[in-house]
DNA sequence: CATACGGACT
DNA sequence: AGTCCGTATG
């Protein structure tokens, strides 16, 4: 049986808001690691993958793997009956045909309980190719929302170019053409980030040995996702580190002070690694920053980077993230230029309500990965590029 | 070519919001003085005239007069892509068929650029008759918004009466009749205000200290007649300070001719003083005046008229400006009673987002002038009165 | 016909 | 800033 207690019903509410337009029905695949959902959008153009890690729950128990087929619209309705800060417990008996949701007000003077009917859904889980990405951008989620919404008002599609200049989003429309350039802070370095698999997340979080299958290898080889069926393509998506280095690099991006405002919060040299992740810190050209980054760049054993901490269980610092909110981190191995349908990107950008950062992973001719990591898990979208130049 | 940098994109956004429902397409007439737009509303009942003075820009360059025909809806779309506090630069090459808009985030980590397609628009600029107004009211813009919205919910039109009693806005409706009386602070004096031309505005801005108070004794009787060019010589139309009246009057700035009559009155600026600023573009081109006044113009802030300070009302309202916000200044030469369509007034009142004061200029049987002066320019609406008492 | 997005008003 | 209404899209 399943019993999973989430500290905030709002997390589920936002999650459902984020996918309800994309997906009609989907299986919540529950196992001891947590809950996964994977589905193609209605037109089979985009893929959405959600993970709620076991560690993200206040309490989590799942004796055996079980797929819970739910109608997303129905679940959305039921979730609307929860207050944002209610404790939310999902329960399902083995072989149950209903999912039981219990909402407890924080002060526990109110308990609401709903039973959502389940359905059998063919889980045609699509395999997510394990990809090496040539470009990685992490920036404020609302910035992304803004850009795609703005451009969507002009045209149908957007071309995203990642170059040394930065990231450019450009769209041509009837009445006007538009382009937005994000410059990023600091030098553009090679890609050192990659989507972490759920196991990695777990490990990052607590290093618990709970992981299953490829536990061991997981960290080393970045696998994108656990695909069910045919993930025989074993090339792990480790990012290409080949051309990683960019010429100019001096300070880590954390040091940059865009606004010119004096940051009194100077980086404490220890404790907090704020941003790192750039493998190439070797420069040490006497910039004011102290080296915090000691890892050897080439093979990030554990690409720990702030990312990890931020999202990970080490919740300790969720707030500090804000300090990072306005940062734009761009990593690139080679020039990438892809065109996507704005309609989908606008849809994806709804997930901004879950977290304040979004990560884009791109390589030419490969689906774009848009990833939002939030406290208890992540939601990732894959969208194939348009071909030709329509 | 044109290159005009505005410190806040929000100014343009608000301006467009203010006119987009009234106008579909319009020419932005750019010349070395600044940018003018003049258009009839879609039903040819109201006229809107906008001026953005060259001094209102962070940077301004316009080598030769050029009309930029834009579709207001398209420009509105493009402007929505700007953040309110973005620096906004308008650029157009000579004979260009696109208007280029560049938005720079204050911290410059984001640069967005849009090209808006231009169109050829027949500029049937209507002449705005030079009018002597018998009544002038300056009061909080949101007060005006409130009054017209309230009355619009009752009836179709409003009768505005200016008498010694104050200004009364009255509307009769099916279910109820309503009337709002504004009393104004201080005694009601003769009209000393008139719509100022942009040059005058400039002067006010800087010469403010310079004004001599009620220069002439004419104060009591605003004469409407002297339209001379001499306006600049003495003080700018300063309004009376304290209760005293100032009288200044000269020509109104534009000549509108709602009816289509054209009386072009040319105001040549006499060599020294500038006063012109007619919206009438046709001639506008011909008269290119150079700004002589530029000197102290560096702070083109809102030309605060003396009024503000003068009135010592004990308003202790909130912000500093508010001190003036609640002031109601009424000047009148003779009783004025006019009826207008509320629908239009409600529309005009949207400009309240641009500034916190509105000025009404009225004379019997003549179009009402509703003027909003904001930092870099002004927006004025002319609306013919209803006749009979429908 | 229903859903979602954008704009307006309080 | 939030809510509601209207418009547009699927």
pLDDT the model gives residue A329? 95
Single out the residue in B69, B95, B117 at which a domain terminates. B117
Distances (CA, A) of B103 to A51, B36, B83, B114: 38, 21, 8, 8
State pLDDT tens for residues A270-291. 333 333 333 444 444 444 444 4
Query: Which residue has tokens 């061991």?
Result: A216
**In A, residues 235-294, which contact B (CB 8 Å cutoff)?**
258-259
Per-residue pLDDT of chain B (390 residues; tens, 9 = 90+): 999 999 999 999 999 999 999 999 999 999 999 999 999 998 889 999 999 999 999 999 999 999 999 999 999 999 999 999 999 999 999 999 999 999 999 888 899 999 999 999 987 677 787 888 999 999 999 999 999 999 999 999 999 999 999 999 999 998 899 999 999 888 889 999 888 765 555 444 444 443 434 443 333 333 333 333 334 333 333 333 333 333 343 444 444 445 444 443 333 333 333 333 333 333 334 344 443 333 333 333 333 333 333 333 444 444 444 446 669 999 999 999 999 999 999 999 999 999 999 999 999 999 999 999 999 999 999 999 998 755
Indicate the length of chain B as a whole number: 390
In B130-197, alpha helices (H): 141-152
The answer, for B115 touching chain A at a CB cutoff of 8 Å, is: yes
pLDDT the model gives residue A264? 38
A110 shares a domain with A28:
yes
B250, B249, B246, B284: which is closest to B268 by C-alpha? B284
Single out the residue in B117, B147, B179 at which a domain terminates. B117
Find the domain containing A62 and state its range. 2-117
Give dist(CA A130, CA A239) in Å, integer. 10
Kindly determine whether residue A176 and residue B71, on different chains, have CB atoms separated by under 8 Å: no
Protein residue with the closest CA to the C1' atom of nucleotide D9? A343
Kindly determine whether residue B81 and residue A179, on different chains, have CB atoms separated by under 8 Å: no
Query: Which residue has tokens 């398209």?
Result: B74
Q: Which residue has the higher pLDDT, A227 or A373?
A: A373
B136 shares a domain with B105:
no
A149 shares a domain with A72:
no
* Backbone region of residue A63 per phi and psi (left: phi > 0; alpha: psi in -120 to 50; beta: other values): alpha
B102 shares a domain with B150:
no
Cα angle B343, B349, B355 (rounded to 5 degrees) comes to 175
pLDDT the model gives residue B126? 73
Query: Which residue has tokens 């409706």?
Result: B173
Give dist(CA A136, CA A305) in Å, integer. 13
Give dist(CA B167, CA B331) in Å, integer. 10
State pLDDT tens for residues A130-147. 889 999 999 999 999 999
Task: Provide Rg for chain B, Cα atoms.
Answer: 20
A109 shares a domain with A144:
no
Give dist(CA A75, CA A78) in Å, integer. 5
Q: Which residues of chain B neighbour A154 with C-beta distances below 8 Å?
A: 77-78, 81, 114
pLDDT the model gives residue A234? 37
Token digits of residue B309: 């300070």
B168 shares a domain with B96:
no
The answer as to whether B157 is a domain residue is: yes
How many domains is chain A partitioned into structurally? 2
Q: Which nucleotide is nearest to B17 (CA to C1')?
A: C7
Determine the average pLDDT of the residues in A101-120.
93
Q: Is the pLDDT of residue A222 over 60?
A: no
Token digits of residue B95: 């004979």
Reported as a pLDDT band with limits 50, 70 and 90, residue A14 is very high
Reported as a pLDDT band with limits 50, 70 and 90, residue A12 is very high
Kindly determine whether residue B114 and residue A143, on different chains, have CB atoms separated by under 8 Å: no
Token digits of residue A17: 């808001």
Token digits of residue B225: 């007649």
Candidate from B74, B109, B111 with C-beta closest to A176: B74
Cα angle A280, A283, A289 (rounded to 5 degrees) comes to 100
What is the DSSP-derived secondary structure letter of residue B229?
A: G
Q: Which residues pair with B382 in a beta bridge?
A: B47, B369
> How far is A246 from chain B, CA to nearest CA, in Å?
19
**In A, residues 315-344, which contact B (CB 8 Å cutoff)?**
326, 328
The answer, for A180 touching chain B at a CB cutoff of 8 Å, is: yes
List the A176 CA – D6 C1' distance (angstroms).
26
pLDDT the model gives residue B390? 57
SS3 B286: helix
Q: Which residue has the higher pLDDT, A234 or A13?
A: A13
Dihedral pair phi/psi, residue B117, rounded to 5°: -70, 140
Determine the average pLDDT of the residues in A163-191.
93
A307 shares a domain with A176:
yes
The answer as to whether A48 is a domain residue is: yes
Q: How far is CA A42 from the centre of its chain?
A: 21
The answer as to whether B122 is a domain residue is: no
The answer as to whether A377 is a domain residue is: no
Q: Which residues of chain A neighbour B114 with C-beta distances below 8 Å?
A: 154, 176-179
pLDDT the model gives residue B199? 54
Single out the residue in A117, A147, A166 at which a domain terminates. A117
B83 shares a domain with B105:
yes
The answer as to whether A376 is a domain residue is: no
A199 shares a domain with A343:
yes
Nucleotides of C under 7 A from a protein CB: 3-10
In chain A, alpha helices (H): 9-19, 72-80, 141-152, 198-206, 215-220, 305-311, 321-324, 342-348
pLDDT the model gives residue A242? 44
The answer as to whether B101 is a domain residue is: yes
Q: C-alpha dihedral over B148, B152, B155, B157, to 10 degrees?
A: 50
Q: Which residues of chain B neighbour A151 with C-beta distances below 8 Å?
A: 81
Residue A20 CB in 7 A reach of strand C: yes
Give dist(CA B194, CA B222) in Å, integer. 10
CB A116 within 8 A of CB A75: yes
Give dist(CA A90, CA A37) in Å, integer. 15
Q: Is the pLDDT of residue A84 over 70?
A: yes
pLDDT the model gives residue B153? 92
A251 shares a domain with A170:
yes
pLDDT the model gives residue A200? 57
Determine the average pLDDT of the residues in A44-50.
93
The answer as to whether B123 is a domain residue is: no
The β-bridge relationship of strands B336-341 and B157-163 is: antiparallel
Any idea what the CATH number is for the domain that residue A23 is in? 3.10.150.10
Residue B21 CB in 7 A reach of strand C: yes
A240, A251, A255: which is closest to A190 by C-alpha? A240
A278 shares a domain with A319:
yes
B157 shares a domain with B96:
no
The answer as to whether B322 is a domain residue is: yes
Q: Which nucleotide is nearest to A149 (CA to C1')?
A: C5
Token digits of residue A371: 């990833």
Candidate from B77, B108, B117 with C-beta closest to A153: B77
């Amino acid at each position: 049986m399943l019993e999973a207690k989430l500290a905030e019903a709002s997390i589920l509410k936002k999650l459902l808001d984020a996918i309800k337009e994309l997906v009609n029905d989907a299986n919540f695949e529950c196992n001891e690691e947590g809950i996964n959902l994977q589905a193609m959008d209605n037109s089979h153009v985009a893929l959405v993958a959600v993970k709620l890690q076991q560690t993200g729950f206040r309490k989590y128990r799942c004796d055996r793997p079980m797929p819970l087929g739910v109608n997303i619209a129905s679940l959305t309705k039921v979730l609307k009956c929860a207050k944002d800060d209610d404790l939310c417990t999902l329960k399902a008996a083995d072989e149950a045909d209903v999912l039981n949701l219990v909402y407890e007000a924080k002060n526990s003077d109110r308990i609401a309980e709903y039973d959502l009917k389940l359905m059998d859904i063919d889980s045609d889980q699509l395999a997510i190719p394990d990809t090496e990405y040539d470009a990685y951008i992490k920036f404020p989620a609302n910035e992304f929302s803004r850009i795609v919404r703005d451009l969507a008002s002009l045209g149908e599609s957007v071309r995203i170019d990642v170059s040394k200049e930065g990231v450019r989003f450009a769209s041509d429309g009837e009445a006007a053409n538009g382009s937005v350039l994000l410059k990023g802070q600091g030098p553009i370095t090679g890609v050192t980030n990659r989507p972490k698999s759920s196991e990695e997340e777990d490990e990052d979080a607590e290093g618990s040995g709970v992981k299953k299958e490829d536990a061991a290898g997981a960290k080393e080889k970045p696998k994108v996702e656990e695909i069910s069926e045919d993930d025989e393509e074993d090339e792990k998506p480790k990012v290409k580190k080949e051309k990683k280095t960019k010429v100019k690099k001096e300070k880590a991006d954390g040091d940059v002070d865009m606004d010119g405002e004096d940051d009194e919060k100077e980086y404490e040299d220890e404790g907090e690694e704020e941003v790192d992740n750039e493998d190439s810190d070797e420069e040490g050209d006497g910039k004011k920053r102290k080296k915090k980054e000691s890892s050897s760049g080439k093979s990030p054993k554990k690409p720990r980077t702030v990312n990890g901490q931020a999202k990970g269980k080490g919740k300790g610092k969720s707030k500090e993230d804000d300090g990072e909110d306005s940062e734009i981190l761009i990593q690139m191995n080679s020039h990438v230029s892809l065109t996507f349908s704005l309609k989908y990107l606008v849809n994806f950008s709804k997930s901004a309500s879950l977290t304040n950062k979004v990560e884009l992973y791109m390589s030419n001719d490969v689906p774009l990965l848009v990833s939002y990591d939030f406290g208890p898990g992540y939601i990732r979208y894959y969208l194939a590029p348009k071909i030709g130049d329509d």
